[in-house]
Each structure stands twice: as structure tokens, then as C-alpha cells.
Amino acid sequence: MNVCVTALGPMENSEVDPRFGRCAYFVFFNLHTRAVEAVKNPNVEASGGAGIQSAQLVASRAAIVVTGHLGPNAFKTLNAAGISMFSGATGTVKEAVAAYEAGKLARATAPDSASKSGIAS
Amino acid sequence: MIIAVASGKGGTGKTTVAVNLALVLEKVDFFDSDVEEPNAHLFLKPDIKITSEVAVPVPVIDAGNCTGCGKCAEVCAYHALAVIPHPGKKSQVLVFPHLCHACGACSLLCPAGAIREEARNIGVIEEGECGNIRFLHGKMNVGEVLSPTIIRRLKGKVRPDAVTIIDAPPGTSCPVVAAIRGVDFCVLVTEPTPFGLHDLTLAVDVVRQMKIPFGVVINRAGLGNDAAEDYCRAEKIPVLAKILFDREIAVRYSTGDTLADKSPEMAKIFTELYQNICQVKNEADRCS
Amino acid sequence: MKQIVVLSGKGGTGKTVMTGALAALVDNKVMVDCDVDAADLHLLLTPKVVERHEFKSGKKARIDERACVRCGRCLEVCRFGAVTKKLFIDMSSCEGCGLCARVCPAAAITMEENLCGEWFVSETRFGTMVHARLGIGEENSGKLVAQIRQKAKEIAKEAFRDWVIIDGPPGIGCPVMASLSGVDAVLLVTEPSCSGLHDAGRVIDLGKHFKVPVQLVVNKWDINPAVTEQIEKYCTENGVAVAGRLPFDRAVVNAVIQGRTIMEGESLGLKAEIIKIWAHLKGAIS
């Protein structure tokens, strides 16, 4: 089962990127094999709809999203796809996954970020 | 006759010129088409009588008839529709109304006829009067993007037999083009500074491309240099009026005061401006 | 590395003059002119272009007249009035939705990528500047603004710059949102008029929405001291700190005419006030 962590770089020890729609990388972490695979986010410069497209990209590959904040469009899309969302993650990708597994992250039940917040943060 | 008052640069005095020009005419329609930041009403203080909502059609999916084929998302140029796959079940379609440009492609092209359109409000148009002026403006809701749509609806209320003044938004992007499309004459307001001149050249490009007869008003003349006037002379652009910088005018503006109905000198300036507009427009008509 | 955007709501209050002054005063920074519709900062900074890039966004329809069978289906379906009665595309009205291309029975319409502007990386006497030019009549969606902000941020990171200083666009629409998201502070430059107060309020709302602190400067404050106080009071009541006030001064116009910033101009009083405003802004951010 895959967890997707939004990150500033493509590695396990890369820092978590607090944004979702316009994060730099999506790092997919397989909870069973512990394998890591990163995808560079193609939606970084989208003027609108980044959250939706990023959510669709992630929904096909992971059942769980771990990030800092979620904007309204991303939240709506991930929610419809049945993806579990956890927000408030910090540290490295590895640390964020450990926090998720230890039950230390809050489940996101609503969007907590304004639309377009992630542009050039 | 429809006269637009525009400017490449914001803050040069578009609203000041448009408002005071309207005040010296006996009977006139005034349209504030800066739907993002309308402020002519702060000066004209109209008595608003009619408020109409501006709505655009957005798609609504009939989940029962929807087959999950995804054609709608495929044809949407704005990513306003997203198809969410559900393993072993029919895919679900999500609509994002704020991204929708109301083009109608999805509902027209849905093979299952599962999309109908519903109205979504993006702003209002208010109509009223102040003295002899019939006043209209559009106000776009914060966060919306379809300003040209509201501007087109607003212009739909132009009366063919009236003298209409349209206060345009600043700049040269698509709301401005929507505001000045189809007008008979465009007044470009500038200030005699390098910023004013630079942005005037952009605005001149626009009106020339749209083949609209135009002239220039130099506002705050004396607070700057002659470069704008020299440019107009070199480009054979008529200077319709020069309003001298006067601190008193700035103070009046700051309190939301009008000028032409309060001082005979100001009334004269704007009456002559109107005469010059008519003259230049007639010459342009003869030449074409 | 911190980012500051200068906004106003209403146009013409002195954003570019203020950004120019900060360009002269602040060390180790990158400048970005995000007013891509009517960019003016270059008139003060005289940039020398080092990199030039095309900017493409959206599409425009094009009818192949030889293939066209003149059925008029495109005219029927276009909701933007972009198909003329003679069945030509009016490029300034075309929004690139692509519906005409999809319904054309003769496949005579193609959607082509729209070259709608250019952006530049330049060197100035005060450092690197990123700026852009949006074509006439184009949609100002904020995408070009986001592009140049991204570039400025990259340059700042690679060159270890401490500040990104952004000349913002007027209004509160998408280009403003693109220039403001993720910044560390907004410097709101307004004028003491009804319009100034009205539009400043909308910028303050935007700051709250994006959770970015806003600091106020009233420019030409002595034109109407009463309205100046009204604006300052409104700001203080809404969590906006007053960073300073600038008086009306012909020295500003003189400096602009000479292509110089206030800091290179003749008024010592204005320079002192700008230094105070910057100290206030810096203090508030750290």
C-alpha cells in the first residue's frame, strides 16, 4: 500500500513540502516493501486546477496522502476518490511516514488552505 | 454615440474625466465597466433602482445517466471537470464551478446527455440615476475571473439613441478590450510622466488595432515633462484636453467630490473636451 | 530568503515608485515586476536583458478557409462572440475553449497554442530583475506572474539573495493572488482618497485570506490628512500595522522623469521616510 508524501526533493530524506497542489515532488512510499519512488510535480506552474490535477495524479497511485495543507479543490478531489488525507506533516519524508504510522498526524476532514496558496511559496 | 474613457496606466484620471464629462452633458448614460474595482459611484452617488444578478451556466452531472466515459473532462479546456475512477464501479465526475468558463462544450458533447446547465452567480449589475445621468455599473464577486462576461452583459444595456460614456478598466488586457469593443470613440487619459507615457503607448496600440478613433487627455499637466505631448504630436494624435495639475483638484478627488458641477472653469474644460471629441470623431468619420 | 510584495488595490498610488526605492535601498535581492499588463518598473531600473523567453498559454481557434464548408456551426455554438458573421475568428474574443473545433463537420478548425507574451531576466544597477510583457487583449490569468515569481525565487536561492521584492499588479484578481501567495509580507501603498480606502480594504481582505501580514504606507498623505487618519485607523482595527507616510512631493515626479528612484533623488525627507518604512517592514518580518 502506498503513502504519498509531498516533498521538496525526490528522496526519503528530502524535506516535506507543506503544499499539495503545487509541491515540488510527490514521493510514493510503499509501506510493505519500504520502497520509495518520486514523481516531479508537472502542475507547479498551473494557474488554476493544480490541486485537481495533482489529486488525480496521486489518486491513481496511493491510498493515503501526507502533506502540510490542502486547498479546497485538492481536498474535494481526493475525498471523492476515497483517499485518506493527513495534514500538518513536517520534517523529512521518512519522518513524516513514521509520524503517520505512529498515529501522530491529524486526519484532514476539511481543506485548510486558501486556493492558489502554493504559487511560488 | 458611445465614448469610452480608458488608460494604459491606472490612476491617471480615467474616472475623474469620465465622471465630469458626464456631468456637463444634458442627457447621458454612464457605464462603469471596471467590474473588479468600480468606483465611479463614489463620485456620482447614484440612487440605485434595479439590481440584477449576473449568472453563468455551469454544468451539473446527472449521476444516474452518466456512464463515466470521461468525454466531458476531455473536452474541458479549463480542467473544471475531473473524472475519479472507482475500481469495480462507474467513474464519478466532479465539477469545479470556479474554473468553469461557461463555454458549454461538456453539456453539448456528453454522449449520454447527462449534463445540464445551471446558473451560478458571479456578480451584479446595478442601475440607477443621479440628476440627468442614467447610471450603471457591474460588480464582480471577489475571486471570480469572468470579468469580460459581466462587461458584455453590462454593455448589452446600452441604448442606441443615447450618448453613453463608458469608464473602462485600467490596462490593456482582455477586460479592457471587452469594455471598448464597438465604441464610437475612445478617450485615452494619461499623465505627463514616463509611466503615463509608456502605458499610453500600450493603450494606443490597442485602440489602433481595434480601429477605434481616439484622442488623448493629459491630466495633471505641469506635474511632469512634455514627453507625452511630444509623443502625441509626433504620432498625430489629437490632444483633446490638458487639465492642469492643481492640488485643489486632488483634494476634491480625495473626498469623492465632483468638479464640473461645482466650478465654472472645470465645467468649461469638460464642455470643450466634449466638443473636441465630437470634432475629432466627425473628422475621422469623413476620412473613413 | 524572504519575499515582499507591494500592492495597492487601486492603481496609481505609488507601488512602482515604492518598489524602485526599495530596489535602491535593500541589499542582496532580486526584483520582480509582476504588473505584466502595464509594467513600469523598468523605467526606473533600466534593465539590460540577459535572457528572453516566450510565454504561451491557452489556445486560439484558427479556421482553414479552404476546408471550411461555411455551414456556420461554429458561429452557432461559440458563446464568446468570437466567430464573425463571415465565419472568421475574432482573436481578441476567442477564449480557446475548443468547442468550435470539435463541432466542425469539415474538421476545418484547429486550436493553436497562443503566444501571449514574453518574460525576461535582466541586470540592473541594483541587481537582477525578472519582468514580463503580456500581449494586448490577452487574459491576465496570473500564470505569467506565477512563472516570473518562480524564476525569481530560483535565482534568489541559487545566488543566496536575502530578499525578493515584488512590484505587484493593481486590483485583487488572479494576477494579484499569484503575486501575493507565499510571500512573507505585503506592503500596501495607498492614497488618501475614498477610492484608495475602498480598494485598500479589499487588499486587506485578500491578505487575511492568504494569511499574509500587511503593512500600510499612505502616499501623498497630506493631500487629505483626515482621510489618511481614517485609513490608518481602519488598518489598525484590522490588524494592519502602519509602516509610514509619504508626503506629496514634486521630487518624486522629478526623479521618475530622470529615470531614478527616490533614493537617488533630491528629497532628503523622502529618503529618510523610506529608510524608516524599510526598517519597520524588516522588523515586522523577522
Both C138 and C188 in a single domain?
yes
pLDDT at residue A47, as a whole number = 59
Cβ contact (<8 Å) for B256 and C193? yes
Averaged confidence pLDDT in chain B = 94
Chain length of chain A: 121
pLDDT at residue A121, as a whole number = 62
Give the span between the Cα atoms of B119 and B141, in whole angstroms: 15
Of the residues C194, C203, C231, the best mutation for testing chain B's interface (the one with the most B CB atoms within 10 Å of its CB) is: C194
User: Which of A44, A114, A119 is nearest residue C178 as measured by Cβ atoms?
Assistant: A119
- Nearest-CA distance C90 → chain B (Å): 11
Q: Could you tell me which residues of chain C have a Cβ less than 8 Å from any Cβ in chain A?
A: 3, 57, 141-143, 146-147, 149-150, 152-153, 174, 177-178, 181-182, 209-211
Give a yes or no: residue A121 inside a domain. no
Cβ contact (<8 Å) for C95 and B101? yes
Give a yes or no: residue A34 inside a domain. yes
pLDDT of C119-135, one tens digit each?
999 999 999 999 999 98
Give a yes or no: residue A40 inside a domain. yes
Question: What residues does C5 pair with on adjacent strands?
Answer: C166, C186
Give the start-end residues of each E strand in chain B.
2-6, 28-32, 47-61, 81-86, 89-95, 115-130, 133-140, 164-167, 185-190, 214-221, 239-244
Which partners does chain C have (≥3 C-beta pairs < 8 Å)? A, B
Give the span between the Cα atoms of B253 and B41, in whole angstroms: 13
pLDDT at residue C47, as a whole number = 95
Query: B153-185 burial, b for 16+ CB within 10 Å, e for fewer?
Result: bbbeeeeeeebbbbbbbbbbbbbbbbbbbebbb
Start-to-end CA distance of chain C, whole Å, equals 11
pLDDT of B64-116, one tens digit each?
999 999 999 999 999 999 999 888 888 999 999 988 999 999 999 999 999 99
Give a yes or no: residue C53 inside a domain. no
Instruction: Print the domain residue range for A54.
Output: 2-13+23-106
User: Cβ neighbours of residue B248 under 8 Å, at least 6 residues apart?
Assistant: none
pLDDT at residue A48, as a whole number = 65
A73: which chain B residues are within 8 Å (Cβ-Cβ)? 96, 99
Cα–Cα distances in Å, from C66 out to A93, B105, C62, C69, C143? 57, 25, 12, 8, 35
Both B236 and B263 in a single domain?
yes
DSSP of chain C, one letter per residue? -EEEEEE-SSTTSSHHHHHHHHHHHSSSEEEEE---SS--THHHH--EEEEEEEEEEEEEEEE-TTT-----HHHHH-SSS-B-TTS-B-TTT-----HHHHH-TT--EEEEEEEEEEEEEEEETTEEEEEEEEPTT----SHHHHHHHHHHHHHHHHTT-SEEEEEPPSSSSHHHHHHHTT-SEEEEEE-SSHHHHHHHHHHHHHHHHTT--EEEEEETGGG-HHHHHHHHHHHHHTT-EEEEEE---HHHHHHHHTT--GGGSS-HHHHHHHHHHHHHHHHHH-
Both C35 and C64 in a single domain?
no
pLDDT at residue C282, as a whole number = 93
Give the span between the Cα atoms of C221 and C225, in whole angstroms: 6
User: Which of A44, A46, A47 is nearest residue C174 as measured by Cβ atoms?
Assistant: A47
Give a yes or no: residue A116 inside a domain. no
Segment C181-206 mean pLDDT: 91
User: C182: domain CATH number?
Assistant: 3.40.50.300
Backbone angles phi, psi at C284, to 5 degrees: -65, -30
Both C64 and C168 in a single domain?
no
User: B127: domain CATH number?
Assistant: 3.40.50.300
Quote the ipTM score.
0.89
User: Is the model's pLDDT at C92 over the cut of 80?
Assistant: yes
Both C129 and C111 in a single domain?
no
User: Is the model's pLDDT at B143 over the cut of 80?
Assistant: no
pLDDT of B44-68, one tens digit each?
999 999 999 999 999 999 999 999 9
User: Which of A47, A117, A120 is nearest residue C153 as measured by Cβ atoms?
Assistant: A120
Of the residues B61, B96, B100, the best mutation for testing chain A's interface (the one with the most A CB atoms within 10 Å of its CB) is: B96
Give a yes or no: residue A115 inside a domain. no
User: Is the model's pLDDT at C66 over the cut of 70?
Assistant: yes
pLDDT at residue C225, as a whole number = 95
Averaged confidence pLDDT in chain C = 93
A117: which chain C residues are within 8 Å (Cβ-Cβ)? 181-182, 210
Segment C137-158 mean pLDDT: 91
User: Is the model's pLDDT at A33 over the cut of 80?
Assistant: yes
Give a yes or no: residue C102 inside a domain. yes
Which of the two residues, C96 and C181, has the higher pLDDT score?
C96
Both C63 and C129 in a single domain?
no
- Nearest-CA distance A24 → chain C (Å): 12
User: Could you tell me the pLDDT band of residue C211, with boundaries at 50, 70 and 90?
Assistant: confident
B17: which chain C residues are within 8 Å (Cβ-Cβ)? none
User: Is the model's pLDDT at A46 over the cut of 80?
Assistant: no
**Number of domains forming the structure of chain C:** 2
> Which residue bears the cell 456637463?
B24
The three state secondary structure string of C9-69 is: CCCCCCHHHHHHHHHHHCCCEEEEECCCCCCCCHHHHCCEEEEEEEEEEEEEEEECCCCCC
* Domain-ending residue, one of B105, B121, B137: B121
**Number of domains forming the structure of chain B:** 2
pLDDT of B181-240, one tens digit each?
999 999 999 999 999 999 999 999 999 999 999 999 999 999 999 999 999 999 999 999
User: C77: domain CATH number?
Assistant: 3.30.70.20
User: Which of A44, A46, A118 is nearest residue C182 as measured by Cβ atoms?
Assistant: A118
Both C179 and C88 in a single domain?
no
* Domain-ending residue, one of B83, B102, B121: B121
Both C109 and C130 in a single domain?
no
Give a yes or no: residue C129 inside a domain. yes
Both C191 and C278 in a single domain?
yes
Q: Is B199 on the interface with C (CB under 8 A)?
A: yes
Both B101 and B150 in a single domain?
no
DSSP B165: E
Both B280 and B206 in a single domain?
yes
User: B99: domain CATH number?
Assistant: 3.30.70.20
The crossing angle, in degrees rounded to 10, of helices A72-80 and A50-59 is 30
Task: Give the pairing type, strands B214-221 and B239-244.
Answer: parallel
Both B116 and B127 in a single domain?
no
Both C234 and C191 in a single domain?
yes
Give a yes or no: residue C245 inside a domain. yes
User: A66: domain CATH number?
Assistant: 3.30.420.130
Instruction: Print the domain residue range for C276.
Output: 2-46+125-285
User: Which of A46, A73, A82 is nearest residue B96 as measured by Cβ atoms?
Assistant: A73
**Number of domains forming the structure of chain A:** 1
Question: Can you read off the three cell numbers belonging to residue C199?
Answer: 480598494
Both C86 and C144 in a single domain?
no
> Which residue bears the cell 488586457?
B173
Give the span between the Cα atoms of B5 and B170, in whole angstroms: 10
User: Could you tell me the pLDDT band of residue C142, with boundaries at 50, 70 and 90?
Assistant: confident
Question: Can you read off the three cell numbers belonging to residue B3?
Answer: 465614448
User: Cβ neighbours of residue B118 under 8 Å, at least 6 residues apart?
Assistant: B57, B58, B59, B60
pLDDT at residue B145, as a whole number = 84
Both B32 and B102 in a single domain?
no
Both C108 and C143 in a single domain?
no
A with B: how many residue pairs have Cβ under 8 Å apart? 39
Both C31 and C133 in a single domain?
yes
B85: which chain A residues are within 8 Å (Cβ-Cβ)? 59-60, 81
pLDDT at residue B37, as a whole number = 85
A71 → chain C, closest CA residue:
C210
Cβ contact (<8 Å) for A56 and B84? yes
Give the span between the Cα atoms of B86 and B96, in whole angstroms: 19
Both B196 and B66 in a single domain?
no
* Domain-ending residue, one of B97, B121, B145: B121
Give the span between the Cα atoms of B105 and B59, in whole angstroms: 10
CB-CB contact of A36 with A27 (8 Å)? yes
Lowest mean pLDDT among A102-106, B27-31, B87-91, C221-225: B87-91
Instruction: Print the domain residue range for B236.
Output: 2-54+123-287
Q: Is B250 on the interface with C (CB under 8 A)?
A: yes
